Structures are given as structure tokens and as C-alpha cells.
A and B are shown apart, each in its own frame.
Chain A
């Protein structure tokens, strides 16, 4: 009887000493995987969908060109027509060579040929804007581009 009583009393509490370790582990994981957003978007875009998509590797070697109608609060000033956004500001196709140069100068020289220009374009945009941008990219010798699309899940292949 006495032994039983003793056992009940001594039920040890769950040790929480390793909790900080677990939390730190998670913390480091998120710190390492986090990519801070460098630019704030001034345009909205609904990215089109496609099947044959490829993943963009090495985000440090990707420069983004956003095209789409300006955000609601900015529409009174900039209108609703699709605009081009480079870095943090609205731009015209003429600004693209300068943008390409600045991107190239910020990149390690050996990695410049690997630079990819990702076009994030709203799906309701007319091709005219995109064609202008592409022409400027060609003139600036920025030939590797990526039309940003999200993947359609093909149900027949599952």
C-alpha cells in the first residue's frame, strides 16, 4: 500500500527544459529560409496559369519587372492603364536599359550571364506593353527572361 501511494505522488512533470531548443531550431529554420521583400508593389497583377512551368532557381540572380494596373489608391494619379514598375518606382520602357545596367553592376561579373529577368505581368495586360519591354530588354542584351506563371495542376497526371 505504501509503495503505491508513493508512486502516485512522485509523478514527474513533463520537462520543458528542451522547449527553448526546439523553438530556436524552428527560429533558425525560418531565419535562413526567409527572403525579405525588397520592393513594395505599386501595381497589381493576377499572374496567368500555365502547364509547362519551370522553377526559378537562385533568387539573387533574378530581376523582376512588374507590369499591371496601379494599385487602387494610386489610380487617381496614375490611371488604370497597365504600368511598368522597376524596383520601387513606375517606369517607362525607356528606363529599362538603365535598370538592366544597374542590375548587372550589382551582380558578380561571372554570374551576369545567368541573370534572369522575370516578367510579372497581369493577365489582362495588352501585349503592346510587353512587346515594348521585350524590345528594350533585347537592346540591353538582357536575353534570358521568364514569363512568371503559376502552375496548373493537371488532374489527369495525378
Chain B
């Protein structure tokens, strides 16, 4: 009798590994490791009726990108391939050698086709620093393919990103991304760069232009 009590059997844990393996394989199979990536945008709030008196934006401040249903691109009244859009946009964003525009006679083409500027106080650049009034206007047709639309959005975003990189490199010796990920002072510098090169992409209210 005493012998039986002493030999109380241990639970066999040998199959534990098998059970764990089974669960492991289940989770291995069901796991999707995909990281979602994409282009972040903020839509403008909806207004029932767009206000009648839109503020007049000088034509030279606006970089117009039109895309039609045949996936053709018209940039500043010129036919363009989407591959060239980035460089054209970059040139537009950088170019703010400000001469006093032709505000009095808007019907005349201004002497310079570069956007105007206004003065802004920007840290690290000092007070009254001229900042470009650039706006990029994007209008697409209902028949434009989503692929082209994303290509345009991407090209414009790259243009801004590259200009910011150039500015950040020449002023602070680091790329814009590096500044953003850097210490407090560098983040402050990144903010200044962002203020100087503000990303202004305006999307027109949807319209049907030529099917």
C-alpha cells in the first residue's frame, strides 16, 4: 500500500511541445505581416455652396495640373508626361525671385511667370523672409484612371519633399527626414523648413471635363 502512494505518477509533458507546435503553426499561417502604407491626405471640409467671391489668386501663383479622361496631362497649358511632372513642380516651388508683380493690370501677363511672395517671420531665417505664394491646383476628370491620379499625387509630394530636402541640406546640413527624426532643436528646424516650403495642393471640386 505504501508503495503505491509513493509512486504517484507525474503528468507526462512530452506532448506539450506538439500542442504548442500545432498552435504555432496555426498562428504562423493566419498571420499577415503586411504593413499598410499609403499617401496621407486631409480633405477640405464640405461646404454646401462654395462661396461666390473666391479670393482672387494671381495666375502666376498657381501651378495648374489637369488630367483628362484619356489620361493625358496638361500642366500649365502644356502637354506633359507624368514622369516630367516632378521636375516641373519643383522648379515652380523653388522659383520665388520676387519682383513686384503686375497686380494693377492682372489682364497682362506678368513679366515673370514665377509666383509672388509674401513676408513671413520664420525662425532661423529671420523676420520678413519672402515666402512663395505658390499653390498647386489639381483637377481631374471622372474618367481619369486612379493609377494616374496617384502618380500625380506622388509626383507632387516628391517635388515638395525634394525641395524641402534641398533647403534643409543647404541650411542645416541634413535632409528633412533626418531633421524630423532628430532632437528637439532639429525638429524645430524641420518645422521652419515646412513653414518655408508649405505643401499647398488644392483639388478642384469635381467636374466633368470632356468625356
Q: Give B contacts to A, CB under 8 Å.
A: 13, 16-17, 20-21, 23-24, 27-28, 30-33, 35-46, 69, 140-147, 149-151, 153-154, 157-158, 161, 206
Contacts and interface: CB of A to CB of B under 8 A. Distances in A.
Given A123-B147, A127-B145, A139-B46, A27 B23 contact: yes
Given A51-B154, A118-B36, 5 more contacts: A34-B27, A34-B30, A34-B31, A36-B30, A121-B146
A148 B37 contact: yes
A141 B45 contact: yes
A153 to B, nearest CB: 12
A107 interface: no
Interface of A: 16, 19-20, 23-24, 26-27, 30-31, 33-37, 48, 50-56, 59, 62, 116, 118-119, 121-128, 130-131, 134-135, 137-139, 141-151
Given A48-B147, A138-B44, A24 B20 contact: yes
Contacts of A118: 36, 38
A145 B43 contact: yes
Contacts, number: 144
A63 to B, nearest CB: 12
Contacts of B158: 51-52
B17 A23 contact: yes
Contacts of B16: 20
A151 B150 CA distance: 12
Contacts of A26: 24
Interface of chain A, main secondary structure: mixed
Nearest to A143: B43
17 contacts: A27-B24, A37-B32, A50-B39, A52-B154, A53-B37, A55-B36, A123-B150, A127-B140, A127-B143, A127-B145, A127-B146, A128-B143, A131-B142, A135-B206, A138-B43, A138-B44, A144-B43
Contacts of A35: 31-32
The 10 A-B pairs of least Cβ separation, nearest first, read: A128-B142, A30-B27, A138-B46, A50-B154, A123-B147, A52-B157, A56-B36, A146-B38, A53-B37, A148-B38
Given A51-B158, A52-B154, A123 B38 contact: no
Contacts of A135: 46, 206
Given A30-B27, A34-B27, A50-B150, A127 B42 contact: no
Contact of A149 (B20, B21, B35, B150): B150
Nearest to B149: A127
